[in-house]
Structure 1
Amino acid sequence: MHPSNTLPNPATLARPRRRRSPLTLGAAFGLLLTLVGGGAWLATRTHIVNLGNEQQLSDSGLLQDWKDGAVIVMIRHAERCDAAPGPCLDDPSGITVAGRLAAQRVGQGMQQLGLDGSDLLSSPKLRTRQTAHFILGQAVAGEDWLARCDHQFPAEAMARKRPGHNLVLITHNGCIDHFARQQHVPGGERESGYASALFVSVDGNGKARILGRMNEPDWQRVLASTTR
């Protein structure tokens, strides 16, 4: 048979090149933008360090900022009686007996930091007034904005911070949450335990920076080792 009449072997034929779909390229580009944007979003998050860790406490700069009067500390009230099985201190709308003891331990830690020259304010609710009494050992002025816990809370707190004077606020979880939201703290890190304290440094330009959180059981142990 003449070679020209021989049929070509299909296996030897070059396969046609497939054209990429514009939709596929667009989807890939969109995914890339999403990943880049997600990374940028994560980079703006503020993570709350545990000041119960001695190294993190030292690295935070809290002790020096406190000496400089450059700190706002927001302390959640102690264990509330209407949400705990323990015996009440007295009124059911106040704190428990265990809450009183916890507040006193926090107060001993605050005394180690030093309260001279600090401005002291409390929510007017009974549980916060009782907590303030056992932490600070004195009557503290009550202001309604410390109980409203709305989106104005961060601005209200910053407006009351005087240069050279630390500001101590005895308040509620919801109020502290609003401040943490403004500082771009992820939702899973914004919850404040009973009698825990969120420390914030305020610079000379009025810019706030979260230093970290001290939980009630850590106060005396950590401060005793860092202030001696």
Structure 2
Amino acid sequence: MLSSTTLHDPALAARLKRRRSRKLISAAIGVLLAVAGVGTWLATRTHIVDLGNEQQLSESGLLQQWKDGAVLVMIRHAERCDSAPGPCLDDPTGITVAGSEAAGRVGQGLRQLGLAGADVYSSPKLRTRQTSHFLLGQDAATQDWLETCDKQFADEALARKRSGHNLVLVTHNGCIDHFARQQRVAGGERESGYASALFVSVNGEGKARILGRMNEPDWQRVLASSGK
């Protein structure tokens, strides 16, 4: 608010007006820079596509990448017995009966894609070993690093991807989260549901690109519609 002195001093009033204008312009520029910064940050994030959508599955290139043996897929173990109301399969540190059935359905989907020549490893935890058993109909080889779930997980996984051979890893949400972090996936998209699968394309130089995620209920419907 201008004082009576300022009102009678046109030069002072003009200077105050210019000062306010500069402050408003500076504030507007600050807001624009902040918005641009957020936009740039969002643009650099990797978004996980829902492969349960037929169109997104087709556009992802997963089916061809799988035929080429260029895919790394990380599957979270099925429903834990110690955090679900349903009956346990047997040991309370393992998975539920419903979880074993879900793992069996995912296994059918994997067999539709084709497991010939694929390398399959499981975390040594009981819940992952049980899950891999129902996925494959037999036990998978276990590796300790698949339960460590630290920042080295992504490098460990990519180091085991052989050219021309798909790699199937039965592991834990924390491990998949570490991999997604390295691929710059936003926090709200990193959570993996029970028996869900995160598919990653790995090129000849070992560079990874996330293709998308398929949740357990979508496997049979989507693969049937795609002609697999």
> Which whole-Å CA distance do the structure 2 matches of 1:152 and 1:15 have between them?
64
Aligned to 1:198: 198
Provide the identity percentage.
Answer: 75
Partner of 2:70: 70
Q: What pairs with 1:117-136 in structure 2 (closer than 5 Å)?
A: 117-136=117-136
Equivalent in the alignment of 2:143: 143
Tell me the equivalent position of 2:212: 212
Quick one: which amino acid aligns to residue 19 of structure 1?
Answer: R
Aligned pairs for 1:97-112 (under 5 A) are 97-112=97-112
TM-score calculated relative to the size of structure 1: 0.90
- Secondary structure of 1:45's counterpart equals coil
SS in 1 for 2:169: strand
Deviation, structure 1 residue 32: 2.5
Please, which runs of 5 or more residues in structure 1 have no aligned partner? 1-9
TM-superposition CA deviations, 1:86-145 (whole Å, max 9, x none):
000000000000001000000000000000000100000000000000001222111111
Task: Work out the CA distance in 2 between the residues paired with 1:126 and 1:14.
Answer: 82
Amino acid in the other structure paired with 1:95: I
In the alignment, what sits opposite 1:19? 18
Question: Which amino acid in structure 1 is aligned with residue 167 of structure 2?
Answer: L
Provide the residue aligned with 2:49 in structure 1: 49
1:16 and 1:93 map into 2 onto residues whose CA distance is 77
For residues 165-180 of structure 1, the aligned pairs below 5 Å read 165-180=165-180
Please list the CA deviations of residues 15-37 of structure 1 after superposition, one character each: whole Å capped at 9, or x if unmatched.
94312255554443333322221
The AA in structure 2 aligned to 1:32 is L
Conserved 8 A contact 1:180-1:190: yes
Distance, in Å, in 1 between the alignment partners of 2:11 and 2:94 is 84
Q: Secondary structure at the match of 1:170?
A: strand
Contact 1:75 1:195 in 2 (8 A): yes
CA distance in 1, matches of 2:156, 2:126: 21
**Aligned length in residues:** 218
Q: Is the 8 A contact 1:128 1:171 kept in 2?
A: yes
Deviation at 1:85, TM superposition (A): 0.6
Larger radius of gyration: 1
In structure 2, C-alpha distance between the alignment counterparts of 1:49 and 1:66, rounded to whole Å: 17
Distance 1:227 1:204 in 2: 28
What secondary structure is seen at the aligned counterpart in 2 of 1:198?
strand
* Letter aligned with residue 144 of structure 2: D
Question: SS of the counterpart of 2:18?
Answer: coil
2:28 and 2:123 map into 1 onto residues whose CA distance is 52
Task: Tell me the secondary structure at the aligned position of residue 19 of structure 2.
Answer: coil
Q: How far apart are the structure 2 equivalents of 1:157 and 1:20? A: 59
- The CA distance in 2 between the partners of 1:180 and 1:156, in whole Å, is 14
Please tell me whether the aligned partners of residues 112 and 227 of structure 1 are also in contact (alpha carbons under 8 angstroms). Answer: no
